[in-house]
């Protein structure tokens, strides 16, 4: 994965043999190895905990109790017994499970397939326990979103409108390297320029609206909006097809109120900056195109706010009262080479989500909701029915982002997630004889008194590393000195032909 962390790979823009190649060890090969190895580890771990059987093992990696809507891949025609659920068009099962913090257990399958949601007329108002929402019956845009408790309207104009744009002036920089912000781009087309076909369904968990039409360049555009009856998330899925070269595609959410502050997630924390009113205390950068990891939240002038979640769509921008999320920067070639992963050709399926909240950002638990959207429970086929057991419990102000077994201890890394000083509580339910705080390199700083649960002070956004002493030890892993064991056999020849004396930027394809 370190090899796949080149900036162009993360952006999705690279040339030549980098992404996929018949002879060279490429980015896709490395992702495939990681996915295959992770699945093997999950299968082995699940078997050790729930045995061999014909049921499923379910693992919740998040360190809090959860009951969010999740889409799971289950054996065909099967369902999870006792779980509210409905069938999804893509073969997944939408369901809700009560799962303890960082827990695993064997769940019994039902031979009764999940019910297919029934077709309904598009409601004038879609009512949930959190929202009153309206969809334009001609364009499929979200034209109203009111908080149910107060009746407060959050939208100033149609939202989830898909917009195609292009830089207003010819630029010398490659669009794969540098993109001007939205005020310097020309609006080419929107999903509201023509009528769309709209279908609505209602199931046990959600009302879904599917909008189908054509978009800039003549390709099909398909949008699905899923409103959950009893959960604050609204999920979107936009499918783009055959987007012309050098086209930027975004989704916009014009808000009815000024945005006071912007919180934007980064690994192990968030940036916090002012917007409509200057605030010298807040140093986070908010102007122009900015990256976000999992979530961004816009605090509104009258309280509460709107959060946008993503699954890898990291581009954000705010202009006036209108946030956008970047869906695609179509570029068929990069530095002269074919660029298949970022090309607009073919189909691109792009998921994102929003949560509007009347309460404060931290009371709405935005980081937790975003993690849930990003990380569904892991389902492993096989196993027997066993009670769900929790390995780790914590206070709500910390999120555990990594753990591992090393030497004579379990290492846990967590972060204060709300930006508030306070006290963290950690209960480790795996066998251990004591705990200590360590630095990022694993050097012990101080022992924690008492036994589990452990409490200690945390600063805003502090990253904390904990060591839990175990009675047994693991041998030191052997250092990796060759890539051969990770490389497909048919690509070893090209790997061995690599000339390590070649340094600097690779040649351009022009």
Nearest to 53 by CA among 291, 506, 483, 385: 385
- Arithmetic mean of pLDDT, 49-72: 95
pLDDT at 19: 84
Topology of domain 391-477 in CATH is: Immunoglobulin-like (2.60.40)
pLDDT at 341: 83
pLDDT for residue 83 is more than 80: yes
Q: What is the pLDDT of residues 404-424, one digit of tens each?
A: 999 999 999 999 999 999 999
Q: How confident is the model at residue 510 (pLDDT cuts 50, 70, 90)?
A: low
Where are the alpha helices (H) located in 277-318, listed in sequence order?
none
pLDDT at 439: 95
Q: What is the pLDDT of residues 307-319, one digit of tens each?
A: 999 999 999 999 9
Q: 464 near 458, Cβ under 8 Å?
A: yes
Question: Candidates 1.10.3720.10, 1.10.599.10, 2.70.98.30, 2.60.120.10; correct CATH number of 119-170+181-358?
Answer: 2.70.98.30
Q: How confident is the model at residue 320 (pLDDT cuts 50, 70, 90)?
A: very high
Strand locations in 197-268, DSSP E?
Answer: 197-202, 206-214, 220-228, 233-241, 247-252, 259-266
Angle at the Cα of 444 from the Cα atoms of 441 and 449, rounded to 5 degrees: 140
Q: What is the pLDDT of residues 267-306, one digit of tens each?
A: 999 999 999 999 999 999 999 999 999 999 999 999 999 9
pLDDT for residue 493 is more than 80: yes
Element (H, E) at 373: helix 366-374
Q: What is the pLDDT of residues 118-149, one digit of tens each?
A: 999 999 999 999 999 999 999 999 999 999 99
- Arithmetic mean of pLDDT, 320-339: 91
d(CA 127, CA 163): 27
- Could you tell me the residue ranges of all domains in the chain? 119-170+181-358, 391-477
d(CA 125, CA 135): 8
pLDDT for residue 9 is more than 70: yes
pLDDT at 324: 98
- Arithmetic mean of pLDDT, 64-88: 94
d(CA 45, CA 40): 9
Q: Would you call 202 exposed, middle or buried from its count of C-beta atoms within 10 A (0-12, 13-18, 19+)? A: middle
pLDDT for residue 175 is more than 80: no
d(CA 167, CA 247): 9
Q: How confident is the model at residue 356 (pLDDT cuts 50, 70, 90)?
A: very high
Q: How confident is the model at residue 508 (pLDDT cuts 50, 70, 90)?
A: confident
Mean pLDDT of the chain: 94
Nearest 5°: phi and psi at 192?
Answer: -95, 5
- Arithmetic mean of pLDDT, 206-231: 97
- Topology alike, domains 119-170+181-358 and 391-477: no
Ramachandran area for residue 50 (φ above 0: left; ψ -120 to 50: alpha; else beta) = alpha
Q: How confident is the model at residue 8 (pLDDT cuts 50, 70, 90)?
A: confident
pLDDT at 20: 86
Angle at the Cα of 505 from the Cα atoms of 499 and 506, rounded to 5 degrees: 60
d(CA 426, CA 398): 9
Q: What is the pLDDT of residues 370-395, one digit of tens each?
A: 999 999 999 999 889 999 999 999 99
- Arithmetic mean of pLDDT, 41-68: 94
- 386-390 and 69-72 as β-strands: parallel, antiparallel, unpaired? unpaired
Q: How confident is the model at residue 506 (pLDDT cuts 50, 70, 90)?
A: low
Q: 392 near 102, Cβ under 8 Å?
A: yes
């Amino acid at each position: 994965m370190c090899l796949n962390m080149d900036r162009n790979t993360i952006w999705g823009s690279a040339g030549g043999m980098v992404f996929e190649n018949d002879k060279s060890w490429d980015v896709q090969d490395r992702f495939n190895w990681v996915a295959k190895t992770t699945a093997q580890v999950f299968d082995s771990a699940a078997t050790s905990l729930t045995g061999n059987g014909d049921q499923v093992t379910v693992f919740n990696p998040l360190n809090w109790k959860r009951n969010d809507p999740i889409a799971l891949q289950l054996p065909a025609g099967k369902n999870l017994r006792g779980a509210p659920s409905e069938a999804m068009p893509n073969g997944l099962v939408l369901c809700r499970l009560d799962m303890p913090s960082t827990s695993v257990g064997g769940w019994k399958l039902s031979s009764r397939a999940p019910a297919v949601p029934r077709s309904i007329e598009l409601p004038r108002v879609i009512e949930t326990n959190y929202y009153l929402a309206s969809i334009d019956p001609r364009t499929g845009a979200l034209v109203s979103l009111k908080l149910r408790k107060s009746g407060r309207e959050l939208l100033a104009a149609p939202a989830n409108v898909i917009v195609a744009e292009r830089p207003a002036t010819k630029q010398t920089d490659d669009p794969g390297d540098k993109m001007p912000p939205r005020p310097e781009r020309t609006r080419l087309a929107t999903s509201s320029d023509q009528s769309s076909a709209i279908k609505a369904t209602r199931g046990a968990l959600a009302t879904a609206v599917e909008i189908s039409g054509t978009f800039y360049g003549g390709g099909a555009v398909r949008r699905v909006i899923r409103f959950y009856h009893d959960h604050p998330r609204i999920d979107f899925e936009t499918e783009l097809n055959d987007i012309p070269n050098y086209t930027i595609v975004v989704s916009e959410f014009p808000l009815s109120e000024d945005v006071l502050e912007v919180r934007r997630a980064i690994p192990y924390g968030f940036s916090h900056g002012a917007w409509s009113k200057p605030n010298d205390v807040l140093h986070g950068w908010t102007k122009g195109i900015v990256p976000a990891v999992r979530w961004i939240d816009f605090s509104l002038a009258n309280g509460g706010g709107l959060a946008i979640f993503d699954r890898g769509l990291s581009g954000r921008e705010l202009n006036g009262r209108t946030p956008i999320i970047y869906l695609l920067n179509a570029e068929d070639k990069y530095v002269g080479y074919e660029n298949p992963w970022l090309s607009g050709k073919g189909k691109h399926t792009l998921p994102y989500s929003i949560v509007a909240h009347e309460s404060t950002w931290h009371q709405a638990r935005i980081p937790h909701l975003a993690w849930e959207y990003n990380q569904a429970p892991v389902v492993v086929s096989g196993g027997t029915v066993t009670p769900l057991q929790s390995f780790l419990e914590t206070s709500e102000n910390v999120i555990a982002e990594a753990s591992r077994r090393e030497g004579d201890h379990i290492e846990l890394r967590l972060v204060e997630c709300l930006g508030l000083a306070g006290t963290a509580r950690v209960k480790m339910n795996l066998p251990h004889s004591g705990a200590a705080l360590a630095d990022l390199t694993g050097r012990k700083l101080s022992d924690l008194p008492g036994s589990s649960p452990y409490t200690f002070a945390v600063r805003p956004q502090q990253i904390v590393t904990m060591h839990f002493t175990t009675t047994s030890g693991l041998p030191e892993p052997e250092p990796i000195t060759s890539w051969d064991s990770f490389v497909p056999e048919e690509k070893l020849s090209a790997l061995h032909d690599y000339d390590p004396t070649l340094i600097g930027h690779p040649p351009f394809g022009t």
